[in-house]
């Protein structure tokens, strides 16, 4: 970069401004050993259709977070995919269009989606009831211009987020983590292992409340989309086609004994380099933001190890697949991973 010459550290916003204003140094050399492509790629037309108008930095950050959420929900998609050949990418194009839809004509501060995400976040943080949220939305609908894109009810708000790929599947679980009420157990009212009731005691009145709920974020479509771009499709074969193996050196999980042992046990799987090898990571966190609170949840994050280390460890390729409920740490999470 011509301004800092890779010699000084600075915050990302300053670096971005310098890049826009000064561009790259003519003598810049690509760091091919840090993940940059060696061959120069031709300029490609952005066919996703995102408006490139410069907006306020804070709003851009919010929108980027939402688009990142869409990328995570739908899988990372590069801009070089032929829309005519992929109906799935057409859907993603639609989602990005919806993410950039104006809250009301002329509104520059929020898109309809960023505004809704903020409202939903406030609802969760303050534990608003569904009824109070419905009342707030109705007031906002009455107060904003007639052509505003504000949902009228909490149900409509949830449906909008689900339609945009930000939904998940709820699967009931035994209070003591014995089994999931899923597939053959879906209709049961008691745990098939310990006989614990599926629902909390509600005296036969009102809606049944499950003892525990596992949140599952479907994985299949996200894995499929890794092969929709020629760049990421090539990355998914890196472990077989481009990795340099050296005896006694561990640079990638493919160099490990566990990887080699799996290749030996399942040769039919190892013969196809596009078969996906996933790493699983988890750690507890407090969803209520208070370190003194004893409640914790356990996210299951999957990482595609087919890629080079400098690619698979980027946040855009981390796939949140499960949210295991608390309140305490799970002694055995294997039961929850069956849905994967």
Domain termination site, one of 122, 140, 163: 163
Give the ranges where 164-287 is alpha helix by DSSP (H). Answer: 220-225, 230-235, 238-241, 257-265, 267-270
Whole domain around residue 25: which residue ranges? 1-30
Same domain for 11 and 67, yes or no, is no
Same domain for 159 and 264, yes or no, is no
- Give every CB contact of residue 48 below 8 A, 6+ residues apart in sequence: 77, 79, 92, 93, 96
Same domain for 225 and 329, yes or no, is yes
Comparing 167-176, 204-213, 227-236, 274-283, the range with the smallest average pLDDT is 204-213
Range 141-155 average pLDDT? 89
Residue 277 lies in a domain: yes
pLDDT of residue 68: 53
Confidence of residue 30 (pLDDT cuts 50, 70, 90): low
**Does residue 3 carry a pLDDT above 80?**
no
Out of 31-35, 285-289, 295-299, the most confident range is 295-299
CA distance 332 to 51: 47
Residue 241 lies in a domain: yes
**Radius of gyration of the chain, Cα coordinates, nearest whole angstrom:** 24
CA distance 254 to 276: 12
Work out the burial of residue 254: count CB atoms within 10 Å of its CB; fewer than 13 is exposed, 13-18 middle, 19 or more buried.
Answer: middle
Largest CA distance in the chain: 75
Out of 4-8, 56-60, 269-273, the most confident range is 269-273
**Does residue 14 carry a pLDDT above 60?**
yes
Same domain for 221 and 327, yes or no, is yes
> SS3 of 3, please?
coil
Q: 10 Å Cβ neighbour count for 75?
A: 25
Residue 168 lies in a domain: no
* β-sheet with 169-173: strand ranges across: 169-173, 212-216, 319-324, 298-304, 278-282
Range 36-43 average pLDDT? 44
- Left (φ > 0), alpha (ψ -120 to 50) or beta: where does 146 sit? alpha
Same domain for 64 and 158, yes or no, is yes
Measured in whole angstroms, how far is the alpha carbon of residue 228 from the centre of its chain? Answer: 17
Residue 197 lies in a domain: no
Residue 53 lies in a domain: no
> SS3 of 282, please?
strand
Same domain for 80 and 24, yes or no, is no
pTM of the predicted model over 0.95 = no
**Does residue 191 carry a pLDDT above 80?**
yes
209 is written with which tokens? 């409340």
Range 217-243 average pLDDT? 86
Same domain for 223 and 327, yes or no, is yes
Tell me the angle at which helices 130-143 and 154-163 cross, rounded to the nearest 10 degrees: 90
Residue 83, CA distances (Å) to 173, 223, 229 in order: 40, 19, 11
- Residue 135 CA neighbour count, 13 Å, CB half: 5
Residue 207 lies in a domain: no
**Does residue 42 carry a pLDDT above 80?**
no
Residue 51 lies in a domain: no
Total domains, the chain:
3
pLDDT of residue 108: 85
**Pairing state of beta strands 169-173 and 298-304?**
unpaired
* 280 or 20, greater pLDDT: 280
* 183 or 24, greater pLDDT: 183
Same domain for 96 and 22, yes or no, is no
Residue 130 lies in a domain: yes
Q: 10 Å Cβ neighbour count for 179?
A: 19
Mean pLDDT value across the chain: 76
**Each residue's pLDDT tens digit, 69-127:** 555 444 444 444 444 445 556 666 666 677 778 888 888 888 888 888 889 889 988 88
pLDDT of residue 85: 44
Same domain for 227 and 280, yes or no, is yes
Same domain for 14 and 120, yes or no, is no
Same domain for 221 and 335, yes or no, is yes
pLDDT of residue 50: 32
> Of all residues in the chain, what percent carry a pLDDT higher than 70?
68
Domain termination site, one of 147, 163, 179: 163
What is the sign, positive or negative, of the torsion defined by CA atoms of 108, 106, 69, 316? negative
pLDDT of residue 46: 35
143 is written with which tokens? 């107060």
- Give every CB contact of residue 336 below 8 A, 6+ residues apart in sequence: 173, 177, 180, 214, 300, 322, 324, 330
Same domain for 26 and 83, yes or no, is no
pLDDT of residue 135: 95
Comparing 21-25, 159-163, 193-197, the range with the smallest average pLDDT is 21-25
């Amino acid at each position: 970069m011509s301004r800092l010459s890779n010699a000084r550290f600075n915050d990302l916003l300053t670096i971005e401004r310098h890049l826009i204003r000064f561009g790259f140094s003519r003598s810049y050399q690509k760091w091919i050993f840090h993940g940059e492509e060696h061959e120069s790629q031709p300029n490609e037309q952005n066919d996703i259709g995102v408006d490139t108008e410069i907006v306020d930095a804070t709003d851009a950050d919010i929108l980027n977070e939402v688009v990142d959420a869409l990328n995570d929900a739908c899988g990372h998609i590069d801009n070089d995919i032929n829309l005519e050949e992929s109906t799935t990418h057409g859907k993603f194009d639609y989602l990005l269009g919806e993410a950039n839809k104006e809250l009301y004509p002329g509104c520059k501060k929020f898109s309809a989606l960023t505004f809704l995400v903020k409202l939903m976040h406030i609802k969760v943080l303050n534990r608003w009831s569904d009824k109070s949220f419905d009342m707030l939305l109705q007031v906002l609908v009455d107060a904003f211009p007639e052509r505003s894109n504000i949902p009228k009810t909490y149900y409509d708000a949830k449906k909008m987020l689900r339609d945009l790929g930000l939904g998940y599947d709820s699967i009931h679980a035994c209070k003591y983590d014995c089994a999931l009420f899923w597939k053959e157990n879906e209709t049961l009212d008691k745990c098939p292992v310990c006989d614990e009731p599926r629902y909390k005691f509600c005296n036969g009145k009102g809606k049944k409340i499950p003892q525990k709920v596992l949140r599952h974020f479907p994985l299949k479509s996200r894995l499929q989309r890794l092969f929709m771009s020629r760049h990421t499709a090539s990355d998914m074969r890196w472990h077989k086609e481009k990795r340099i193996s050296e005896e006694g050196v561990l640079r990638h999980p493919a160099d490990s004994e566990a990887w080699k042992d799996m290749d030996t046990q399942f040769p039919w799987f190892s013969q196809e380099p596009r078969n996906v090898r996933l790493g699983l990571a988890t750690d507890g966190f407090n969803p209520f933001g208070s370190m003194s609170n004893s409640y914790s949840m356990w996210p299951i994050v999957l990482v595609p190890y087919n890629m080079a280390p400098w690619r698979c460890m980027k946040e855009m390729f981390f796939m949140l697949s499960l949210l295991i409920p608390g309140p305490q740490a799970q002694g055995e999470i294997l039961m929850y991973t069956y849905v994967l």
